[in-house]
């Protein structure tokens, strides 16, 4: 959604900020596909190279950014810096990664930390709703939602947003974060998922616990996550990125939310590439 006339074109706050930072820092981006990624409201954070090219194609001007910088700082010439993409986290980004990882692990214990147990209920066929499992799952879901809220409050800058925007973001992202979390507890050999109290259910049991047709979609998503081999830090960063999305409807201050998301995206990109130097495509795959 356009917020005004920026650098020669009508643009939103998110693209305005992205273009300004890219030009001021002379950022050099790389496209890991064919340099023709679709850039829209949803996909714009997946490829910074194509997003910047889209800005130029729309008519955004480098000179406008430089002139704006000169005016704001009262200098005769803008200082030009060439900052190449690096796989090293700055101290600021390193601190963000540390906080997010701690927030994630302290609100979502790893699979190996859980005392797994199973139930024989509804183990044979997909039949009618199993009330026992439904009650148990409802109880677990409530506890998990509380943990997601706790995690959100520990995302840097989140509590500095308006209360209304905090509620809007949590409502929009809570289910996505819950699904991402449970999918990291998928055991493909047994085709089971393990919940936060250690309860381990088969695909059929989860179907009968109330997931219904959504079950197969969740298990498919879990299978797609396996090749990524994400660790707790990446899962936490991805959850935080999902949370602070400036594209959510009814936000009072979307530009502030965008500012919170930018360093998280940069941190995940650098962290994931440093962890897998030979697999730079993993970052866009995660998104």
Q: 19 to each of 66, 85, 257, how far by Cα in Å?
A: 11, 16, 17
Helix (H) or strand (E) holding 100: helix 91-107
Q: 74 to each of 6, 8, 81, 279, how far by Cα in Å?
A: 20, 21, 18, 43
Fold category of 4-73 in CATH: Erythroid Transcription Factor GATA-1; Chain A (3.30.50)
Identical fold, 4-73 and 91-286:
no
pLDDT one digit per residue (tens) for the chain, 287 residues? 556 667 777 778 788 888 888 888 788 888 888 888 888 877 788 888 898 888 888 888 878 776 666 655 554 443 333 334 457 889 999 999 999 999 999 999 866 555 544 555 544 444 445 667 778 778 888 999 999 999 999 999 999 999 999 999 999 999 999 999 999 999 999 999 988 777 888 898 888 887 888 899 999 999 999 999 999 999 999 999 999 999 899 999 999 999 999 999 999 999 999 999 888 788 888 88
Which DSSP state fits 246? T
- Domains of the chain by residue range: 4-73, 91-286
Compute CA 67 distance to the chain's CA centroid, rounded to the nearest angstrom: 34
Domain 91-286: give its CATH code: 1.10.565.10
Distance CA 7, CA 86 (A): 27
Q: Would you state the pLDDT for residue 76?
A: 46
């Amino acid at each position: 959604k356009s917020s005004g006339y920026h650098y020669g074109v009508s643009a939103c706050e998110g693209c305005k900020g992205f273009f300004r930072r890219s030009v001021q820092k002379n950022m050099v981006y790389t496209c890991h596909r064919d340099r023709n990624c679709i850039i829209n409201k949803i996909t714009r954070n997946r490829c910074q190279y194509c997003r910047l090219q889209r800005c130029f194609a729309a008519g955004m001007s480098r000179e406008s950014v430089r002139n704006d910088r000169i005016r704001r700082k009262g200098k005769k010439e803008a200082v030009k810096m060439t900052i190449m993409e690096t796989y090293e986290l700055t101290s600021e980004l390193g601190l963000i990664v540390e906080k997010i990882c701690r927030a994630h692990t302290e609100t979502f214990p790893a699979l190996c930390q859980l005392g797994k147990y199973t139930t024989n209920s509804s183990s044979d066929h997909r039949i009618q709703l199993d009330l026992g499992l439904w009650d148990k799952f409802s109880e677990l879901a409530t506890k998990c939602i509380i943990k997601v809220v706790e995690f959100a409050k520990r995302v840097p800058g989140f509590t500095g947003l308006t209360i209304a925007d905090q509620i809007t973001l949590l409502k929009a992202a809570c289910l996505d974060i819950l699904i991402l979390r449970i999918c990291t507890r998928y055991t493909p050999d047994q085709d089971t998922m393990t919940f936060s109290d250690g309860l381990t259910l088969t695909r059929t049991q989860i179907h009968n616990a109330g997931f219904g047709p959504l079950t197969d979609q969740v298990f498919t998503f879990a299978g797609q996550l396996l090749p990524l081999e994400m660790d707790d830090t990446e899962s936490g960063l991805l959850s935080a990125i999902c949370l602070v999305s400036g594209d959510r409807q009814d936000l009072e201050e979307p530009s502030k939310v965008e500012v919170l998301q930018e360093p998280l995206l940069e941190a995940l990109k650098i962290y994931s590439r440093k962890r897998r130097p030979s697999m730079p495509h993993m970052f866009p795959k995660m998104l």
